[in-house]
Chain A
Amino acid sequence: MTELSLPARFEGVEMIQRVRIPARLAYEFTAGVATSRFLRQVVRKRLVGERCPVCTKVYVPPRGACPTCGVATAEQVELGHTGTITSYCIVNVAFYGQAMDLPYVSALVLLDGSDLPIMHLIGEVPYDEVHMGMRVEAVWEDGDEMEPTLEAIRYFRPTGEPDADPATYGEHV
């Protein structure tokens, strides 16, 4: 690096090499029309996806567009509260702000009747028994604590049914 020629006033002065320049910006986040429709139903313990008019896939939570066809989803489709684990991971690492006790299981759950898995927690089962194809059901928070978020579902737990046929969820693995 080229040496600087500095005025004498810098003699004996510790030079700054790095500075902290934080910045904060505040927004009002807009969930959007389709996602808001979904969240308002969640408060009523209903899971309502939306269907693509072109490829007929059902998305949950809906974002307002079919992410493959690029057209608006309009038809609402009520889904069951049961689904199939298509993938999962066992979390053993703590991170800032974490609310869960370690280890816990985070999984992708393909709700029956939908074509896009949602990510959620798995409970009421030893973590080493969780597996792909396991059938699970939603465990809701108590009615008076419901907020319009997916946290209205506390977690999913096994239904005890036999595992799903891999052909029913293979596309999503």
Chain B
Amino acid sequence: MTDDTSLRAPLVIEYPFTRTTGPVVGAFLTALREGFVVGTRASDGRVLVPPAEFDPVTNTPLTEVVEVGSEGVITSWTWVTEPVPAPQRPAGEEPPWDPSVDAQPFDRPFAWVLVRLDGADTSLLTVADVEDPAQLHTGLRVRIRWRAEREGSIRDIEAVEPVVSGEDLP
């Protein structure tokens, strides 16, 4: 009698990509490293954050890089009770898995948020550091908490936190 079950084996695929940023994304990531946020101004005057390299309507190159605030309002949010876990670290593997690169920002329940920063007309995807979903609502004012050591990555934004003294926008 033949065995019709399959043998299985762990398989890890790594994509060690170094990417060319281009000037616009390069400016955005450079600003994050320096602790501020920029976008690009579209042909209709809107400020796009994250920046687009080309106008979403006219397709012309967008060249005006503008700074926006480090505070803003939540335009949507979700509380996830089970973060997607990082893959198991294969035994003895070097270099080890780095949660700051290979996993979601938190390994406990947390919130994903879309945040429209002051001066921007579009929203940025990031995470909110609160302990309870009751602390969150659309329109809540939040402020970026920067990572202490920044390298020019979207993860230089550690999270957003509620602005304690601020007032909600409608």
Answer yes or no: do A and B interact.
yes
Cα of A16 to Cα of B10 in the assembled complex, Å: 36
Tell me which of A18-26, A94-102, A134-142, A161-169 binds B.
A18-26
A2 contacts partner chain B, Cβ-Cβ < 8 Å: yes
Q: List B24-78 residues whose CB lies under 8 Å from chain A.
A: 24, 26-27, 29-31, 33-34, 36, 38, 61, 63-67
Counting CB contacts under 8 A, is B82 at the interface?
no
Q: Which of A2, A6, A20 contacts B18 (CB 8 A)?
A: A20
Residues of A within 8 A of B10 (CB): 26-29
Q: Does B102 contact A (CB under 8 A)?
A: yes
Can you give 26 A-B contacts (C-beta < 8 A)?
A1-B23, A3-B63, A7-B65, A9-B36, A10-B27, A10-B30, A16-B152, A17-B20, A17-B21, A17-B26, A18-B19, A18-B20, A18-B21, A19-B21, A20-B16, A22-B101, A23-B14, A24-B14, A25-B15, A26-B13, A29-B10, A30-B8, A36-B7, A37-B2, A40-B3, A76-B2
| Residue pair A33, B4 in contact (C-beta under 8 Å) | yes
Question: B101's closest neighbor in chain A, by CB?
Answer: A22
List A contacts of B5 (CB < 8 A): 33, 36
Q: A2-B63, A5-B64 are in contact. Are A25 and B18 (CB under 8 A)?
A: no
Q: Is the CB of A24 within 8 A of B12?
A: yes
Binary contact readout A25-57 vs B (1 if CB under 8 angstroms, 0 otherwise):
111111111011101100000000000000000
Measured between beta carbons, the chain A residues less than 8 angstroms from B9 are 28-29, 31
Is B30 touching A23 in the complex (CB atoms < 8 A)?
A: no
A22–B61 CA distance with the chains assembled, in angstroms: 28
Interface of A is mostly: mixed
**Measured between C-beta atoms, what is the minimum distance from A72 to chain B in Å?**
12
> B30, A13: Cβ atoms under 8 Å?
yes
A4 at the interface (CB under 8 A from B): yes
Please, which residues of chain B bring their CB within 8 A of the CB of A80?
Answer: none
Given the complex of chains A and B, what is the CA–CA distance between A27 and B88 in angstroms? 10
Instruction: Give Cα distance in the complex from A22 to B153, angstroms.
Output: 12
User: In the complex the two chains form, is B21's CB within 8 Å of A16's CB?
Assistant: yes
With a cutoff of 8 Å between Cβ atoms, the chain A residues found around residue B4 in the complex are: 33, 37
